[in-house]
Structure 1
Amino acid sequence: MRKSILLLLLFVVSIQVHAQEQSKGSPRIIILATGGTIAGSGESATKAAYTAGKVPIDDLLNAVPQIHNYGKISGEQIASIGSQDMNIATWLKLTKRINEIFAKDEADAVVVTHGTDTQEETAYFLDLTVMSDKPVVIVGAMRPSTAMSQDGNRNLLDAIVVAADPKSVGKGVLVAMNEKVFDARDVTKTSTTDLETFKSKNFGPVGLIYDGKVQYYYQSLRSPLKKFDVTKLNSLPQVEIIYGYADANPNSVYCVTNSGPKGVVYAGMGNGNFNAPVGKALAEAAKKGIIVCRSGRAGSGRITLDNEVKDAELGFVVSDDLNPQKARVLLMLSLTETSNRAKIQQNFFDY
């Protein structure tokens, strides 16, 4: 009898030791939920109407039990909003929580569920402000969780695959969507409804996800080596975007620049171009100390410095190949450290 009890105890201990050894090798991944379509719910499985951010994180995790095969998974609800309502306060809350998680060694990787409307902006903001080289993966969906052909479950599983892979360390913030992996700096949303909406128009995806594995093909050389410290910040400098178009009225520039921004991004035609009246209004803003950044509405390509536009003479900076919404993110963060145009211009060439 005693021998049987002893054997049973040894068996139980061996199971516990084996479980501990397995858990040691399993990455700890925290999912931070912000809402969005991936957490959306609608009344019909076949219609497009839905409300974003209704499904809590625990329900999202329970819907994809396979994620637990890739690590020790837990979730936290940071916000429950559609990403059209994403704001700087939530950005700061999110990046501070991620930095806290890594500083306290609470996890080996973080996945952020997010709406697709502003997903690229959040990804780039986190890329510039998360201090760790541990994986941070942003994921979303184009169809709500209640849709017949919803894409959120698969995207979430793929994001966990990417976050759990040791090769994802040191690659900056990544976006996992539609079986592809994108660099946060270069990815953009290209369609209002298509499942394959996220693309990197200039360079393409950095990796592919298939059969529960991620394969990387290249890594961006523009991943920031120095990050912006937002630990003590509760807001960011005001930066607005002005859209360029044929026969644009300069009053749009005056309305924006008179509202007190520290910077403006001009989404210009072609190579960041503008008509003469708009150029005059932008130059006046630059003389007042507002940082004017020329970007482009075309969606890809570089904005060249001192080429067609005399940027040095007018007091402008250029966004290089950042689209207007991402140029705004970098300009806001740059203005937390300096208002020197030359230094800000260098940031656009370095980050």
Structure 2
Amino acid sequence: MTDSTADTPTVLATGGTISCTSDADGDLVPTRGITALLDDAGLPPSSVKARDVLRLDSSTMDLADLDGLLAEIHDARGTGPVVVTHGTDSMEETAMAVDRLVGGPVVLTGAQRPADDPAPDGPANLRDAVAAAQQVVSPSVVFGGRTLPAYGVRKVHTTADAAFDAPDLARPTVLASSPVPLAGLRVDIVAAYQGADPDAVRSALDSGADGIVVAAFGSGNVGVLADGVTDALAAGIPVVVASRVPAGGVNLVYGGAGGGRSLARAGIRSAGQLTPPQARMELLCQLAVQRARR
């Protein structure tokens, strides 16, 4: 007998602005579950399989929450495409993890305006995401009328409907055939800026960091953080250099103690065009796969 639900999209709700309404103090809080979200979008419950997984502000998601979500996505992928409603604050990080550790037709979406706004954008985004899930072949973000690859996608505007963009990047192969735990690993982001203290890197090491991402100057220079970076590399801790500049990516060409080219010879890795948060998630996924294979 043929399963009539095969290939029917599964919608997993996690909270975020798309589920938010204003409380008595006027604060936005995630209150609307999946049944209400489907109703808002005019999607008949029979057209999808749906369930609530989380109900939180995505800025509060930790790696244990992400592990649980990835497991839910992986399980749902066994019966068809998946749509995830998600807060925009950390959507690019979850999108990276989904791309690296799950793959396949998974679409993330959300909203810039809450459900009780006079003109909410979430319902249209959800409708678009459900439609796109049946067309895409790899993880994507559908938002503001655009469909973007999950690998490299980033939030570029705090209020505009078209909140996300993505550079044209070659997508690496998926790291694992099923999710591996991220919880228990620690990768810190250390910012480079005028007058930065190399002890910021050492503090991350002392706190047990398994890896470090430097949000570097320009093309990948770390400035006075160089001594701390050198200490990390000597200790066998991977260091990835991402640029704090929105476009152009890392080009390790400068010499000197804090120059990217000098540190490349010492073993730093380039994040290319990934943002610091994306580079952190990429490194976390790599470390998780390595840990699982030991």
Is 1:263 equivalent to 2:215 in the alignment?
no
Residue among 314, 322, 327 paired with 2:266:
314
Q: Does the CA contact (< 8 Å) of 1:287 and 1:315 recur in 2?
A: no
Q: CA deviation at 1:305?
A: 4.3
Distance (Å, rounded) in 2 between the aligned partners of 1:59 and 1:262: 41
Structure 2 residue aligned with 1:55: 32
Q: Does the CA contact (< 8 Å) of 2:129 and 2:142 recur in 1?
A: yes
Q: CA deviation at 1:25?
A: 10
Q: Does the CA contact (< 8 Å) of 2:16 and 2:110 recur in 1?
A: yes
SS at 2:280 equivalent: helix
Residue among 50, 53, 76 paired with 1:101:
76
Q: Does the CA contact (< 8 Å) of 1:145 and 1:152 recur in 2?
A: yes
Is 1:192 equivalent to 2:158 in the alignment?
yes
Structure 2 residue aligned with 1:15: none
The AA in structure 1 aligned to 2:114 is P
Q: Does the CA contact (< 8 Å) of 1:236 and 1:333 recur in 2?
A: no
- CA 1:125 to 1:234, structure 2 compared with 1: closer, same or farther past 3 Å? closer
Is 1:281 equivalent to 2:251 in the alignment?
no
Distance (Å, rounded) in 1 between the aligned partners of 2:5 and 2:177: 32
Is 1:110 equivalent to 2:79 in the alignment?
no
Where does 1:51-90 land on structure 2 (aligned, <5 Å)?
51-65=28-42, 67-68=43-44, 72-90=47-65
Is 1:173 equivalent to 2:120 in the alignment?
no
Matched residues, number: 286
Higher RCO, Cα 8 Å, sep 6+ = 2
TM-score of the two chains, using structure 1 as the length reference: 0.75
SS at 1:249 equivalent: coil
Structure 1 residue aligned with 2:175: 227
The AA in structure 2 aligned to 1:321 is Q
The AA in structure 2 aligned to 1:237 is L
Q: CA deviation at 1:273?
A: 1.0
Q: Does the CA contact (< 8 Å) of 2:74 and 2:178 recur in 1?
A: no
Aligned identity (percent) is 28
TM-score of the two chains, using structure 2 as the length reference: 0.88
Residue among 98, 108, 111 paired with 1:126:
98
Structure 2 residue aligned with 1:10: none
Structure 2 residue aligned with 1:32: 12
Q: CA deviation at 1:234?
A: 6.2
Where does 1:239-258 land on structure 2 (aligned, <5 Å)?
239-258=187-206
Structure 2 residue aligned with 1:160: 130
Distance (Å, rounded) in 2 between the aligned partners of 1:247 and 1:337: 36
Q: CA deviation at 1:63?
A: 1.6
Q: Does the CA contact (< 8 Å) of 1:139 and 1:155 recur in 2?
A: yes
SS at 1:191 equivalent: coil
SS at 2:9 equivalent: strand
Residue among 112, 132, 155 paired with 1:142:
112
Q: Does the CA contact (< 8 Å) of 2:200 and 2:228 recur in 1?
A: no
SS at 1:59 equivalent: helix
Where does 1:319-330 land on structure 2 (aligned, <5 Å)?
319-330=271-282
Q: CA deviation at 1:27?
A: 4.5
Q: Does the CA contact (< 8 Å) of 1:142 and 1:151 recur in 2?
A: yes
Q: Does the CA contact (< 8 Å) of 1:40 and 1:50 recur in 2?
A: no
Q: Does the CA contact (< 8 Å) of 1:39 and 1:56 recur in 2?
A: yes
Is 1:42 equivalent to 2:19 in the alignment?
no
Distance (Å, rounded) in 2 between the aligned partners of 1:221 and 1:285: 29
- CA 1:164 to 1:312, structure 2 compared with 1: closer, same or farther past 3 Å? closer
Where does 1:327-342 land on structure 2 (aligned, <5 Å)?
327-338=279-290
CA-to-aligned-CA distance 1:101-134 (integer Å, 9 cap, x gap) = 233x3xx211000000001110110011115x3x
The AA in structure 1 aligned to 2:283 is L
Q: CA deviation at 1:196?
A: 2.4
Q: CA deviation at 1:137?
A: 0.5
CA-to-aligned-CA distance 1:35-66 (integer Å, 9 cap, x gap) = 0000000159xx9x54232111111111222x
Q: Does the CA contact (< 8 Å) of 2:101 and 2:179 recur in 1?
A: no
SS at 1:242 equivalent: strand
Distance (Å, rounded) in 1 between the aligned partners of 2:268 and 2:23: 50
The AA in structure 2 aligned to 1:189 is K
Farther off after superposition, 189-198 or 228-237: 228-237
Gaps of 5+ in 1: 1-20, 204-219, 340-351
Q: Does the CA contact (< 8 Å) of 2:182 and 2:284 recur in 1?
A: no
Distance (Å, rounded) in 1 between the aligned partners of 2:120 and 2:153: 22
Distance (Å, rounded) in 1 between the aligned partners of 2:33 and 2:129: 18
